[in-house]
Amino acid sequence: MTNRDRIPTDGGTSLTHNPFAKLSTEGLSISSEPVSGTNTSRESVPASRASGEPVATKPKKNRGRVDILRQTAGRGGKTVTVVKNFVGIGLAEKEKLAKAMQRACGTGGTVKDGQIEIQGDKREEVARILTEANFRPVFAGG
């Protein structure tokens, strides 16, 4: 390797090109708001909120009743919380709900035969997550 092949690291003349030199700030507004890691520009705010008008919120859509059961039969005496009777959601959304339940409960679980199974008696935590997802959880069975 010769000296010609090496890239200078002393900040020589090859590093003086500024790719932003020809850009203009004409037409840009100067904001007095501090810039943080989040997007705080007014452009991302809907026009109704930017003008100070109240934003009409949509009422939460009820996604239907789901049953929460506690089962031990056929599981070697282990208790499992089962959520079933979902209407109108696919396997991907059930798996997403199951992951959220597993994280909240700190246990394992699965989606099997169209129903979500969470290890242990975690009916209260599961009901809270389903309520947040706009379902109407109902405790069924014992």
In a domain, 87, yes or no: yes
- pLDDT, the chain, mean: 79
Mean pLDDT of 88-106: 92
Sheet holding 109-112, edge to edge: 109-112, 115-119, 80-84, 65-71, 136-139
140 in Cβ contact with 133 (< 8 Å): no
Give the CATH number of the domain where residue 117 resides.
3.30.780.10
pLDDT surpasses 80 at 112: yes
> pTM, whole model, 2 decimals?
0.57
In a domain, 114, yes or no: yes
Give the separation between CA 102 and CA 80, rounded to whole angstroms: 12
Mean pLDDT of 46-67: 65
pLDDT digits (tens, 9 = 90+) for 20-30: 777 887 877 77
The DSSP H or E segment spanning 111 is strand 109-112
Q: Which domain holds residue 98?
A: 65-139
Q: Total structural domains in the chain?
A: 1
User: 11 or 109: which carries more pLDDT confidence?
Assistant: 109
In a domain, 57, yes or no: no
In a domain, 99, yes or no: yes
Mean pLDDT of 12-41: 65
